[in-house]
Structures are given as structure tokens and as C-alpha cells.
Structure 1
Amino acid sequence: MKKHFLRIGVCCLCFFVFGLPDTVCGAPTKVLINIVEEQGDTSSAAMIKSSEMLIARELLKHNLEVMTSDDIAPREGLSEKDVKSARAGSMTELRKAAAFNGAAFILSAKARTVVSEEDVLNMKMNKAVTSFSYRIVGTAGGSAVDMDSLSFSSASRSPEDAAHGTYQKLSADIAQRVKDKLPAQLSAQESKKLAGYRASVTPKPPPKPKEPPAPAATPASPAPPAMTVAQAPTGDNAETTTAPKAGDGPEIVILNPPPTRGFMPVSRVKELKIEGMAMDPSGIAEVRINGEKVGHDSQGRFEHPVALRPGENRFLVMAVNTAGRMVSKEVAVDRDKDADPPDVVLLRPSVTRGFQVALKPDVKKTIVEGIVKDDSDLLFLRVNNADVAVSDTGHFQHELAVTDATRTISIEAADIYGNITRKSLEVARGDDAWVETPTGPGQTPGGPTVKPVLWGLAIGVSKYSSSAIDLRYADQDAMKLEKFFTAQAGKSFSEVHFKTLINEQVTRNSIIEGITRHLGMAAPDDIIFLFVAGHGIKHRQSGSYYFMPSDADFDTVLAKGLRMSDFEESIKILSNNVHKIIVAMDTCHSGALEVGMRSGGGASEDLAAAINEASGLYILSASKAGEVSMESDQFKLDPKFPGHGAFTFALVEAMRGDADYDKDGYVSVNEMFQFVARQVPRITKGQQHPYFRMQGTDLPLVGIQ
């Protein structure tokens, strides 16, 4: 009996606290969705509005209650004019409409869809790009819960299907963001705030007329009834404000990208730094870009790096003053269309070192499985000319029938800009299979009997113009690798052409010349080995990475340092002409001044990630982001060298034979890295973990003598 009284008491308490029957304690959260067209949209308004229903459908799956702009109707306190303003995006009217309908939160957004026709690989395709800038606002307080500016793209033969594809993508993405930001049920306090705000915007009944005074009295002229005007909430849509006024909110000035007149700025780089100023007499409390908080100085200056995707990119800059007033400004940048082909990584079937697929004679089918990645949407992926479906994560799997006539497995992938990647692997069966092919000393398994030619370049800087930043063994690392590979002439390689640059020999020009002229003489089937060791620096203003030659210091790095883009361009030229390139990096950050350490600071991993991958390109870096790269006199390989870096020490040990895990008499690039990845953390006591990226299949490097 006591339990029943308790339940009744709780229900009564909720009713008396909140005063409204439709605001129940623990009720599901309700969201009002309102999306408007942005100027420049080329699709129909109906298609833009359909995105409201798509998002609503996704939110219902997350057990949230929803209403759309079509559910806003006139009522007491909400006139026809108010309804029209709400649907046009006015936050004041949207809050009133949400409160009257029990919606505790508002998803207000602007959408812009542009559809263009392109000729891709002799096919007429329609590409749609939808830009979507949104804010999630609390109805009662008017404060922003979240905001961002996103872009979604899709391609199809039909322009309607292309546009609809972007809406499907954005609806799932936005619904997940709303779910992550909002509570599934309103708390008692939130329900009370919503009820209080609803009461404040509900019109008060007019006062009853007073009895007329006695005729004998001469009354004064009665004052007109006072009008109650609701104060503008702090979360009003700042985009409707024509100009900043005292008390209205901060003023945002964008310095980079520079303002243009009537057209969108174009960028050719993958990363841009947004710079600007937020000004307000009361001071700036917070600056955000696409919802992410960014730092600002006492003058309101801010800067923040952002990644650019191919096509249109939109960023929402928000500033809040110390009084809690907020304004926002959108920055749009167009990045030139993607010029890089898709990257295809094959998972199955296994590929031998001879770049073959070895199948048993009785095999009638095999699974072709892999992952395809691209900055843009894919146009198609085909295996032996058959279209294969690709998941959202880039995974694909295809069952391929194998007959005696099947000689190759070909994989083609193209993006919507016509960039195409082709991989072709020879199928070997029975006696022709690589696993059945005998090998001998100096013969690459499955490959020709002619040994490959090695072209090497080792760069190591220990002595700098400023002795305060000298290292100990970077030059020793370069010389040791030259000695090791030179000794492989006539053994693993028919010829070895190795050049070494150390200390004062290392300048920006000598590095570029060594790569372009010396390594540039390599033939397509030769092997290139490039090693770089020394200091590096990430420039604070430009954000660009520089390798520091011997004549550079922190003050002259812009003029004398080797910028990442120059290094990348040289590798790109090589990869167009040579199929097998190995790059080993043991670079450091400018803050590493301690003897025995080459501070990583993220430079090595950033460098490996920045080089555009090409067929047969193997990137090995000494350490991951945030780690130190160790060097010590304890890492000795022979008496002639006083010490080495841990990375080079393990690298040479691996190639000497310690990494021959399958005991086939050869050390491949993959085996070499697996050994280095295990050994370096051990000898550095967990302070250093090498990083590896590979484009292509495993490559046999040196034979064990």
C-alpha cells in the first residue's frame, strides 16, 4: 500500500512542479527540425526539405521525438507571420514554436546543393555536393549545444539520384551527432526550464476593464495598457544581425583565406590555416571553428589549421563575448578537384614476392578481397572487368571463378574525377607457381635470374652551423648503410650505385640534386634506397615540415631548410619512373637538444603520411608521433663506428639475416620492418616505436650469404 502512495506522490510532484500536462518527468527528448535553402542552391526546394524527413526518420530510430517545420502551425502567441519567420530560420520564432509544441531542442540548418555534370571515362555523370551548416540550440535558454559546417558528395547518372545520395549521407551523420549531444530523456530541471520559457512567451490575458468613474468626478486620461515585450534570447541567430552594435555580440573578421568579391577562394593544398580576429568591447570568451574550440590572444586574434577535401569546403566560425552573446560567420573554400588515383590494398589472395598469385591446380575459384581508399567518391571498382560493390569503409570482396584460361587477376578502381588505379597480378598454377620455383643464391624468388641494380642515397647530419643542436651518430648511420649496401654488389645486387652526403655536404640543393640526378638514373626495374637522418622542424607559422641541412638553423629554416613539398615532389617524380622505392627516415624535431635523443615530435609519422603513395613505395620511419628517437654508443654494429641510432642499428641487424623469419634465404622489406618493429621498442625500453607504410606487395631486398 505504501508503494502505491509513493508512486502517486511522485506523479503529483512532477505535475505541480512543471504545471503542464505535456511536460512530463522523464519524457523523451523532442527535437524541432528546420532546414532552409542557402543562396546558390541548384536543386529543388522540395528536395532540400525532404532532408528534414530523412533526419527525422533517423532520429526516431534513436528513440527521440521529432517535429519538422511543416508541423509549425499558427496558434495563440504564434501568428501566421511568426510561422513564416520560423520556417525561414528566425531563431526567436523557432524557439517559441518549439516551446508551444514541447520540443526542448532545435536543429536549425542551412543547406545548399550544387549538381554539376562531368564526363568521367566517357560516361556522363552527375556530381552533387551538399553543404550543411547547422546549430543545435536549447529552446529554454537559447544557447548553442553544438554547431558545425559539413559537406557531403555523391555521384550518379541521374542528378536527382546524386542529390538524394548526399541527403541520405547527411541524414545519418547529423542524426548521430544529435543523438550524441542530446539526452534521451529530459531531466526534471530541463523540463521545468522549458515550462518556464513557454509561460514567458504565452500571451497574458488582457486586464479586465475598470468600472467607469462617477460622473461627478473628472478623471485623468487613463494611461494605455503596458505592453510586455520579450527580451531577445542570447542564442538568437547571429546571421540575421545586419551589423554588430554595442551589446549585440562580437565582430568576426577573417584574414585568411582573404576575402573575395563574389566568388569562392580556391586552394590547391590539402590543409589551410583559418586566421582572423574576434572583436568586442567586453572581451572575447571563446572562439570555435566547426564546433572545435581554438585559442585566441588578448586582441582576439586566432588561427586554426583545417583539412580541405576536394571540392567545396565550409567552416563555421563562432565567437562568444564575456556577456555570453554569440555571432557566427561562414568561411567557404574550394579545393581543386582530386588528382590522385584511388589506393587499393589487396588482402586476399596472398601475393608472392614474385608479384604472382600462386593457386593449386584443382582450385576452381578464389576470393579477391581488399580495401580501396580515395579522397573523393568512387566511380567503380572492377575485378577482371566485373563490377564489385564497395562498402562505406572501402572494403570489397569478390568471388572469382578460376579456369585454365585465367592468366591474370586485374583490379581497376576509379573515382568521380576520372583518376584510375590498375593492378594486374599473374596467376601461376601447378609447376608454374612461385612456390614450386627453385631458388638459389642471388636469385630473387619467382623473379628473373638477373639480379637487380640498387641505387642508394644516404643523408646524415650530426654537425650543424650551430653546435648547440649537434647530434652524435646521424652521420655514422648514413656511412654504415653505405658500407652495408656496397658490400652487397655481386651478391644481392648485380650493381650498387651508392652516394652518401654527411654534415657540411648536406645542403638543400645537394639533397635535391642527389635525389633527382643520382637516383634519377635508376631504371624502372631497379631498386632505390633513400635514407635521411638529422634534425627536423615544424614551422610554427606556416605549419610546414622542414628537414634541416647542416647550414640551416631556426632563424634560416625558411630560406635554407628542405620543405616537405619539395621532398615530396622529388619522390613523386622518381615513383613515376621507378617501381620499387624504399624511404627510411630518422628525422628529429627542433626541440631535441639532449645528447642521445632525436626528438620525434610527430615529424617522422607526418612525413611518411605526407608522401603520396605510389606502386612499390615503402616508407619506414624511426618513431611515431610524440616519441623520441634514441641514439647511443651502446648501439654498435662494428668497431669502426662509435655508435648509431636505434633505428639504423635494428635496420642493419635485420638485413644481415636476423629478419629472415621464413628461412628462405632472403630478407624482404616486410620482414625487415617486422624485425625493426619488435627490436627497437626492446632496446629503447619502450620509448620508441617505428612506423611503416607500404604501397604495393612485399619486396625481397637482400640475400643471406
Structure 2
Amino acid sequence: MMNILHHILAVTGAISHCRQGLRDTTRGGISLLREPFLHEVFMRCARNNYSAVSLVAVCLLSLALPAAFAQVRQPYVERVSATLPVVPALAAVAFDGSHQRVALGTAKEIQLVDGSTFKVVATLPLEQPPTTICFTRDGAFLYAATSNGQTSRWNLQSRLKDRGFTIRTPGLLTLTTTAQGHLLSSSTDGALRVTDPTSGSELASSQFETGLVAYDLATPGKTLLVAAPDGVIKLLSVPALEGARSAKTNLPLSAVRVSEDGKVAALAARDGHVQLWDLESLNLIGTPGDKIGRVRALAFDAKYRWLAVAADSSIGLYDLKSRTLVKELHERNLQFSALSFLGDDHLWAVTVKGEIAVWKVLSEPPDSDSPVITMTQPVPAGSGPPKVYARSVEIEVMVEDKSPLKSVVVGGIDKPVELKEVRGTAPDGSAKRYAAVVLLSKEGLNSFEVRATDEYGNEGRTTAAILRLSDQDAVEVVGPGNNAETDSIATVVKFRPWFKVESYKIVVNMQDMVDGSGLRKKPGDLFVEGVPLVAGYNQIQLVVAGAKGEKISKSFGVTRKVIGAIASNPGSLVPKSRDAKAEPQRWAVVVGTSEYLNRGVASLKFADKDAESFARFLQTPEGGGFQPDHMRILLNKDATLAKLQEALIDFLQQAIDKDLVIIYFAGHGLPDPARLQNLYLLTYDADPSRLGTTAFPMWQIKDVLERYISAKRIVVFSDACHSGGISVDFATRGMDATKSNLINQYLADLSRTKEGIVIFTASAAGEVSQEIPELGHGIFTYFLLQGMKGEADFNNDYTVTINELMQYVEDQVKRKTKGAQNPMRSQTVYDKDLTISQIAH
């Protein structure tokens, strides 16, 4: 023995050079007898003059190395606790692995059991007790045969018997189907027969003189393995039952089972021995040890991990990689007669009394951890929830779990949505991405819950929220802030749109400065653009157009601070130092436009004359004696956008707190047809198709009143809403004159900017200002002038106050138009006794 051990150690070096031959590529185990490995070891022994004893040592090592190198897997086995049917007086059993079904035949019926729910799903009536039953390989039909060969077929879709015939054989024992749809049967005379089920005729037969113990078809159904009592096994072609190859096992065989791929067979003896044979070479490849008793049934699992061996009241599980008995299942008072794996993990066993036992067989214990869910789309906005400007949004989550997922669902919304897998993120499939479109039912915060459930019932949950933005919040202006001030000649505009941007533009003081594209940007990305500033106040408008038709406009102001004057003639506009006891001064801007450069805007008859008459009256002693250098009179061609901006912003800055400022405007007012909340006064050079860059915005009047005019007494007269003020060409854009009367409403609201402002407009909302040829004026301005000239002096004190004037004009205009036009006054705090004009006496 010591010599043998010595020679074993001597050849270990030769073996170490040949380890590539250790792996059996067909099964992942070790098969020294089939590889070039053994031949190379023998050759190395011969070159080194090792003795025959050394070669014997190599042979011993070839038997010992498989167990040494193989890793033993310990399965997790759990008895299924579901209530299983019991079939008394069981006569026959058949398993359908492809559809996970079991057929249990009794004297009167066949019960079909669903292998996943363990419920009886159908009952097929029988006229005689069956000796054997079998499914067709596609699972569409079920055959049942008696010992005298009477055979019936059931259509499993309709659950009706559709065919019957006789297989002429003495003492039929077993029945199975081939890949061609033929029936293969064995009988007590030791013969195999192939029968055509359509005609019932015999196609082929083969006689075994020593008898027939068992047979099995490979999954392809074209090869048949037959076992005889004397230990001989044969391979036959199907359906011809020809081309026999045989081998001697030296075992008293009792059971045979072929693996799902048809490459390996398990052979069991009456004494409990089990052998594994390679069916391609018909060679022995292994002998699992640890006998458990007389073997009655065998079963491979579909993944070739386990071999189940049933012996009386116990079932042994062998790890096929190590060929080791790793688990033994004991059931008292049960005698198993049939065995099969259904699906990947369930082992079914049926006893001779019709009892059924089912175990779940896993490579490792079931997963007990809940799936982990991470929301990846949309991306959160900093520390807050994701922001979306849409009624629906595609959400994407990443779910991590060791086990396959059963479902991923979004709940907590009006209608739960199931997410679909889009792509994996890990090679082992442990992390996967799922996506779905979710409706956002309201503006503001929308909350929901994502639930992921794996195949073991473990559930992971995460709550999430998405902020659905309103139109106002769809574009976030990061900087500059509204009414910001700077010493720089330029400012940086930063904004963040929460939708896919197609284009955008930035307009400064009615001039286009930036035209940009957002093709490379994502929702929530920051846009940064620099724009120049003029001295003083700058009106900036940002217009963002989305890829889906969105159009959002934002306006804000930036003041560029300068030292000194802001006009071309500094001395003429810089407020001169005045003594504190000096009299208050009067300032006026009077605008009247009857003619317009753009032919799409119809001319007015009296707007310029109204303004000219009003300005002329202000210059009279009765009207206040306004000095020409304290007035800006802009009529027709002089009433351009640039000159109006200069008059309101630069010119009126000269007024101080105790001064009086009067602003008069006669002409067209108009809202933007695309955004009715954007209101404009039409200057001479205004283009109705480009109001944003050519007309004077009403919100800039608010800024003028609030930021540039220091006077605490301001009166605004507006006769800006005239019928017939829009041509046919313009009217086709879906606008009419009544909509322009939003201008008057806006002006009335402007009076709330600060105390001391009174605004008097020509008509109420929904009305238009009329021009009457017989008066030679617009009706509002006509009675405005008449009242200032003395008609409004109700108390005969030779002074017309603002309150008297408005009362007079309101009454006269209503009477003249028979209630069709109703002037409006602002409802704010102002000096109702403010003198507007005086009457000579």
C-alpha cells in the first residue's frame, strides 16, 4: 500500500500540468474517462519510465478526483403546504412538464391537476380503469389505455373524447408519445410497439427475449432507451425501433429516466444502486453513492441540477455536479410510485394510494428581502421634488432584488399603472429599470407610491412626488430679479425652463437681442445669456417656445444706474435745484395718434385733434398755464415708441414730489392676440403683428408711475379705445375693438400703484369710445374739454376740481350715447378737490 501511495504522489506533478482536462464541458462536473487529460497523464508517465503501479495509481486518482474537485450544493427544500387532492384507488399517473399539469387516473375518471395552483381543473370520465395514461408532447391531447389495448384520446381544450381505437398487444403495460405523434407501448410479452393513432395500425415492433424493465424517450422524442432485467441497455431510433446500440451495466435494473436534453440517463437497480450514463457514447460517467433503498422512480430537474430518486417511503436528492446525496425526504406510511419535476423548482411525488406530496427545491433559501426602489426619472430639482410642466410624465425607477420580479406598479393615483421593464443595469439581472407614463391630475404637488413585488411575495415600496408646474412657473427666471439695479452696461439673464425648449428670444427695450435654440438642453437645465443695457430703466422680455408648442413669456425690469444725465442734452432734463418754498410746477405728456405707419391699423378721425386741443387748453391760464418746456406733445409721426419712452421715462423724471403731472393719450390700445393679458398702447410705428417689440407695453406705465415719477399728484386721461380702430386685415386675427378696452381696465388698476394717482378712462369694460363728426372730437375728449372750460363747475366757485370734472363727463357721455359708453374713474385715494382748471371772471 505504501508503494501505491508513493507512486500516486509521483504522478501528481504530471496531473498538475493537465488540469484543463478536469472540466467536463457538457455537465460542469469531472469526467476523466472522456477527456484527453488521462491520455496525457499516461504519456507523461511513460516518458518518465513510471511502473505499472504508477499507472494503477492514476486510475485510482481518476475515480477519486471528481469528488475532490466538485463542489457539493446543499439545496433548500420546503414542503408545499397547499391542500392537495387525494385520489383513492389510483390506477395510473402522467406528468406534463411543459404545461405543469398532472393526470391522475382512477377506475372511473381522470383528474387533471394544475401544477401551479394544485387545484383539479378538469375531470374526464372513463368507462374502464386505465392501465396507463400519457400526454402528447405538445400537451394538446391525453391518451388512456386499458390492459387489453382499448385506447381513448381526449382533446384537452374542449375536454371531450375525440378518438378511440385498439392497440393489439397482449397485456399492455405502458404508453407514451413520440415526437412524430405516434404511440409507443410496452406489453407483458417483452415487446415494444409503435402505433399510428390516426388509423390504429402498427408501424413497428421490437421483441426483447430477456424481458423489458423500463424505457424512456429523450425530449426530442427520436431516441429510445430500453432497459432489460439482466442489466443490458439499448438505444433504438424512433419510430423504426432500429439501429440498436447496447451496453452492459451489471445491475439488476428497475427504473430508467433520461434527462431533458436527452444526453444523460439515470439507471436504477433493485438494490438501490444508481448510475449515470452518457447516451452519446453509451459510457458510464458516474455512480452517485449513498443508496437509499429499492428504487421505484427517477426524475431530473429541467436545469440538470438534481436527480430525485424515490425508494419506498423516502426520496433522495442527488447533486449532479458532485454526484452526492445531499438531501433525503422521509414520509411515513407512504410508498411512492411516480416522480417528476414540474417547472424549475417543484418536485411532485405520487403514492400507490393516490396521495400527492410536493416540495419546492431551490439551490439556495428563498429571498426574504424586499426589493429596493430608486426613482431615476424625472430627476429631482435639487432638494425638492422633480418639476414637470405637463399633464403626464414618464417615470423611471430602478429596482434591485436578488429574485425575479413579479410586478412593479404605481399606486396612489386615480388609476394604478403597471411599469414595464426597459433595460437591465446589472449582468446578473439584480438591478432593472422600469418605466411608465403617469397622469398628473392637478397643478402643484402630485404624490404616488411605487410598489415592487418579487416572486416570493416580498414587497418594496417607495413614495414619490412630482410638482406639476403652472404656466406662470413653467419658466423660472433665476436672475436678474425684477427691478434689479446695476452699474454694468450689460446684465446676465439666467432662466430654467421645465420643458423641452425648441427656441427662445430675449427682447430688451422692444429690440430683439438674443435668438437661441434649446435642442441640446434638457428640461430643468440652466440657460445663460448676456444682454446690453441702456442707461436708466430697461424692460426685458423673455419668450420661450417649447418642442410641443408651449410658449411662455416673462417680463422684468433692470435699471442701469449712471452718474449724471441720461439724455442727449443733459442740462435740459436734469431736475434743477428748487427752493423749498418754490411753487409746485406742472408737467404734461400729451399723445394723440390718428395716423399709423402700418396700413393694417385704420386711421382715426379725431385722436390727434383731441390731443392737440387738450394740450392747447393746458397752456392757457384757465388750464393751468403749462410751460412749453414742461410739456411733451406727440402727435401722429412724432408719437413713435422711442419718443414716448423718452417722454414718460426721461422727461417726467424732472417732476418732484409736490408737482402735478398730467398724462393724456388718444389713440388705439390693443392686447396681444396670442396672450390677451399683455396690453399695449399703439404708437405711430407700431406693428400689430409684432406688438412685443414695436408698441408700448402697459406694464411699463406701471413702472414709470412707480419708479420714475416722484410727483404725488398724477392725473391720467385715456381715450384709447375707439371703434373701427382695427382694419379688416387685423380683424381676421380673431380680435375686435371691445377687447382693446382691456386697456382702460388696466389703466384703472394702475392707479393703485401709489396714492395720489387718479385715472379717468373713456369707457367701461366691453365698451368702445365713440367719435362723433358733428362734435369734431371723440365724445369723451369733447366733454372733457367742455367741463374743464367751466361746464363742470357745479358749485360756481370758478374752479373745476377733478371730482367735478369726472362727474360732469360721466353724466354727459352717458346721455349723449344713451348709455352705450360709460367713462370709468379709479377707486383710489386721491385729492378729490385737486384743481384741474379755473374760470376767468
TM-score bin (small chain)? 0.3 to 0.5
Q: Which has the higher contact order (CA 8 A, sep 6+)?
A: 1
By percentage of residues, which structure has more strand? 2
Q: TM-score, normalised by structure 1?
A: 0.39
Q: TM-score, normalised by structure 2?
A: 0.33
